[in-house]
Amino acid sequence: MEQMTLLEKALVKVKENGFKYTKKRETLLDYLIKRNRYVSAREVYDYLNEQFPGLSYDTVYRNLREFCEIGLIEDTELQGEMKFRFSCSGNFEHHHHFICTVCGKTKEIYMCPMNFFEEQLSGCEIEGHRFELYGRCENCQKLNE
């Protein structure tokens, strides 16, 4: 049996969550998959506007937010701006990141510190969390030398 690509899996998830297929949505997801890092909504808009002249920035931003809500895209605030990336887990599973503050490159972190915090917060109900480490990746450190 053939393996589905990340884009194909993403488009299935889009449909399962009640969104219509459009070439613009496919192109948005494909762009994020290929970039494989956090990018600004403006970067996504600029790319899509080249492909689909006249496309509204609000439409791009709304799609990014909606795809975040269904777990297809991850968001973070980096240097005072919201950034987005395709969920790096093919199964859209829980994970954390190291994020380069210069280029936006990310590395997955394969452990979750929540057990430590849950022990210290007995009696509290934790409704969610986000754990990200920020710094400079190997390539950006070399550029500063």
Question: What's the total number of domains in the chain?
Answer: 2
Model pLDDT, residue 90: 52
My answer on whether 32 and 8 are in the same domain is yes
- By C-alpha distance, which of 58, 57, 67, 70 is closest to 32? 67
CA distance 12 to 6: 10
My answer on whether 61 and 9 are in the same domain is yes
Last residue of a domain, one of 74, 89, 104: 89
Structural tokens at position 107: 């590395």
My answer on whether 4 and 64 are in the same domain is yes
Binding residue per annotation — 88? no
Binding residue per annotation — 129? yes
CA distance 6 to 11: 9
Angle between helices 57-69 and 41-51 (to 10 degrees): 120
My answer on whether 19 and 39 are in the same domain is yes
My answer on whether 127 and 65 are in the same domain is no
My answer on whether 105 and 78 are in the same domain is no
Does residue 63 contact residue 70 with C-beta atoms inside 8 Å? no
My answer on whether 67 and 104 are in the same domain is no
CATH number at residue 137: 3.30.1490.190
What is the domain range of residue 103? 94-145
Binding residue per annotation — 112? no
Tell how far CA 61 is from the center of its chain.
13
Indicate the helix (H) or strand (E) that contains 77: strand 73-78
My answer on whether 65 and 104 are in the same domain is no
Where do we find the tokens 């297929």? 21
Residue-wise pLDDT for 59-97, tens only, equals 999 999 999 999 899 888 887 889 998 886 554 566 788
- Can you give the pTM of this predicted structure? 0.73
Model pLDDT, residue 99: 87
CA distance 53 to 95: 36
Binding residue per annotation — 95? no
Give, rounded to a whole angstrom, the gap between the first and last alpha carbons of the chain: 49
Model pLDDT, residue 93: 61
Going residue by residue through the chain, which has 145 residues, state the pLDDT in tens, using 9 for 90 and above.
456 788 998 999 999 999 999 999 999 999 999 988 889 999 999 999 999 999 999 999 999 999 999 989 988 888 788 999 888 655 456 678 888 888 888 888 877 887 788 788 888 888 877 788 889 999 999 887 7
